[in-house]
């Protein structure tokens, strides 16, 4: 099942010299295999406001305030509680607070674009942030990344570790983005598109998006 | 309840080049403090198929047991089982840790251009081992750190090319 993208996906140019050429080696993972365990994160490791990217500076960030929430579950549907979820993203103008980002869009002094939280007993996480903008990235002529939020999720085993990207519904850039299109299976690709949710939306304050994450055994296997 | 199966797994995507304002954290590469007895250093570079260093890779080291030092917010004493290190502009990384209880430590590498992380193992010496025993010598050598001086080990990750590191599908 082609759920995860292949390492070599030439339309995404950076994969050409970075994709391993040898097939992955599948060792027998016995009970002592450390890959089947993973770090445990205590609640004291995340500060109470780390999940609110709009309150990390003195002023209000510019842009469309959004609530992003969902559940982290395993492939058996069981909630993954107490796992660390980290996010990072560009600001509303499509620029990262990173010195390497040369896109001449404005930096927002009130938005860094990084957050952390732990899932609760139902596997639920919640962030308050600003909708990121699209940005150009020079992969090919007229290359623009669809708006996205990067997610990092630990799961319960080192082999469950997942880094992915959440997209927004109806983005016109999807067909032209080699990173989104690197996922061969269309149904799998669509699972990276969050769902607008009016019930989650708060009047006069923020739009709500649902994004659930299902962890497999390992993102390494194809 | 959610009806899920492996058919509903969320696909992986690249970490991208701009994770550095989010993922690195204070003392992330220090699984033990400088004064910890038995501390060892593991250092090396991450290189692409042309032998060029990656300035935008992120490595995660896992030793198999958590330890009291904390995974994310470091406390002074003891050991942590988990560490994270972003490569320098020259592609270098380093970790300070202790020798693992077992034969190896697990290493995950994320980078721009990697749509999925690569998983490998760092062995501190060549010894009988179910994984090492199944590899031909040149491939096996990619998993064994070189001892540079007492308690300092070097381990390069080659994503591609003649010296391509053995990566695991687990």
Residue A36: inside a domain: no
Phi, psi of B94 (to 5 degrees): -155, 150
Q: What is the mean pLDDT of residues B113-138?
A: 97
Give A4: exposed, middle or buried? Use CB within 10 Å, 0-12, 13-18, 19+: buried
* Other beta carbons within 10 Å of A202: 12
pLDDT for position B91: 98
A91–chain B Cβ distance below 8 A for any pair: no
Q: What is the pTM of this model?
A: 0.97
pLDDT for position B116: 97
Architecture of the structural domain at B19-158:
Sandwich (2.60)
**Domain range for A79:** 47-214
Query: Taking CB atoms and an 8 Å limit, are A34 and B1 in contact across chains?
Result: no
pLDDT for position A30: 84
Distance CA A70, CA A134 (A): 23
* pLDDT at residue B7 greater than cutoff 80: no
Find the CB nearest B66 among A21, A40, A46: A40
Indicate whether this complex's ipTM tops 0.95: yes
Q: How many CB pairs under 8 A join A and B?
A: 248
Residue A22: inside a domain: no
Total domains present in chain A = 1
pLDDT for position B5: 57
Q: Which residue has the tokens 């010598």?
A: B137
A114–chain B Cβ distance below 8 A for any pair: yes
Question: Nearest residue of A to residue B9 by CA position?
Answer: A214
- Each residue of A164-181: pLDDT tens digit? 999 999 999 999 999 999
C-alpha count within 13 angstroms, C-beta hemisphere, residue B2? 22
- Parse chain B into domains and list their residue ranges: 19-158
* pLDDT at residue B3 greater than cutoff 70: no
Cross-sheet strand order for the sheet of B104-111 = B82-86, B57-62, B104-111, B118-123
Q: What is the mean pLDDT of residues B33-40?
A: 95
Residue A78: inside a domain: yes
Q: Which of residues 130-189 of A touch B (CB under 8 A)?
A: 150, 152, 158-159, 161-165, 179-180, 182-183, 188-189
The residue of A2, A14, A147 whose CB has the most chain B CBs within 10 angstroms, and thus the best one to mutate to test that interface, is A14
Q: Read off the pLDDT band of B1 (50, 70, 90).
A: very low
Q: Which of residues 81-110 of B touch A (CB under 8 A)?
A: 81-82, 100, 102, 104-106, 108, 110
* % pLDDT > 90, chain B: 93
10-residue mean pLDDT series, chain A (222 residues): 92 98 93 93 89 96 98 96 97 95 94 97 98 97 98 97 98 98 96 98 98 94 72
pLDDT for position B170: 81
pLDDT for position A45: 87
A42 Cβ partners below 8 Å, 6+ apart?
B70
Q: What is the CATH number of the domain that holds A53?
A: 2.60.130.10
Pair of tokens at residue A53 = 């990217």
Active site residues of A: 96, 135, 145, 148, 150
pLDDT for position B2: 44
Q: Among A152-156, B98-102, B151-155, which stretch is predicted with the lowest mean pLDDT?
A: B98-102
Distance CA B35, CA A17 (A): 40
pLDDT for position A209: 98
Residue A29: inside a domain: no
**Average pLDDT value over all residues in chain B:** 95
Query: Taking CB atoms and an 8 Å limit, are B21 and A112 in contact across chains?
Result: yes
Is residue B80 within 8 Å of B117, Cβ to Cβ?
no
How far is the alpha carbon of A105 from chain B, nearest alpha carbon, in Å?
15
Chain-centre distance for alpha carbon B72: 16
């Amino acid at each position: 099942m082609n759920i995860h993208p292949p390492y070599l996906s030439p339309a995404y140019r950076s994969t050409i010299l970075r994709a391993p050429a040898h097939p992955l080696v599948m060792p027998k993972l016995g009970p002592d295999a450390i890959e089947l365990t993973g770090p445990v994160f205590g609640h004291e490791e995340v500060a109470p406001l780390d999940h609110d990217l709009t309150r990390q500076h003195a002023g209000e960030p510019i842009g469309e305030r959004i609530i992003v929430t969902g559940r982290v579950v395993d492939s058996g549907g069981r909630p993954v509680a107490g796992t660390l979820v980290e996010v990072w993203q560009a600001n509303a103008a499509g620029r990262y607070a990173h010195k390497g980002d040369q896109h001449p869009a404005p930096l927002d002094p009130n938005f860094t674009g990084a957050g952390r939280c732990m899932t609760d007993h139902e596997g639920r996480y919640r962030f308050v942030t600003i909708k990121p903008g699209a940005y150009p990235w020079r992969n090919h002529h007229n290359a623009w990344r669809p708006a996205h939020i990067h997610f990092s999720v630990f799961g319960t085993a080192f082999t469950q570790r997942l880094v992915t990207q959440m997209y927004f519904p109806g983005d016109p850039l999807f067909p032209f983005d080699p990173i989104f299109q690197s996922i061969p299976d269309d149904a799998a690709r669509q699972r990276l598109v969050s769902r607008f949710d009016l019930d989650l939306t708060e009047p006069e304050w923020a739009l709500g998006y649902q994004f659930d994450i299902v962890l497999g055994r390992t993102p390494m296997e194809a | 309840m959610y009806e899920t199966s492996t058919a509903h797994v969320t696909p992986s995507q690249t970490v991208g080049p701009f994770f550095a304002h989010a993922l690195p954290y204070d003392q992330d590469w220090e699984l033990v403090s400088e004064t910890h007895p038995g501390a060892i250093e593991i250092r090396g570079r991450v290189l692409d198929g042309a032998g060029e260093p990656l300035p935008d890779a992120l490595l995660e080291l896992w030793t198999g047991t958590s330890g009291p030092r904390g995974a994310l917010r470091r406390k002074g004493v003891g050991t942590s089982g988990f560490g994270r290190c972003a490569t320098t502009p020259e592609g270098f990384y380093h970790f300070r840790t202790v020798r693992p209880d077992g034969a190896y430590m697990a290493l995950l590498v994320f980078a721009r251009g990697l749509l999925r992380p690569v998983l490998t193992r760092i062995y501190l010496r060549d010894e009988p081992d179910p994984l090492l025993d199944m590899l031909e010598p040149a491939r096996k050598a990619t998993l064994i750190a070189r001892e540079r001086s007492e308690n300092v080990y070097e381990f390069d990750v080659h994503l591609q090319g003649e010296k391509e590191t053995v990566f695991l599908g687990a």
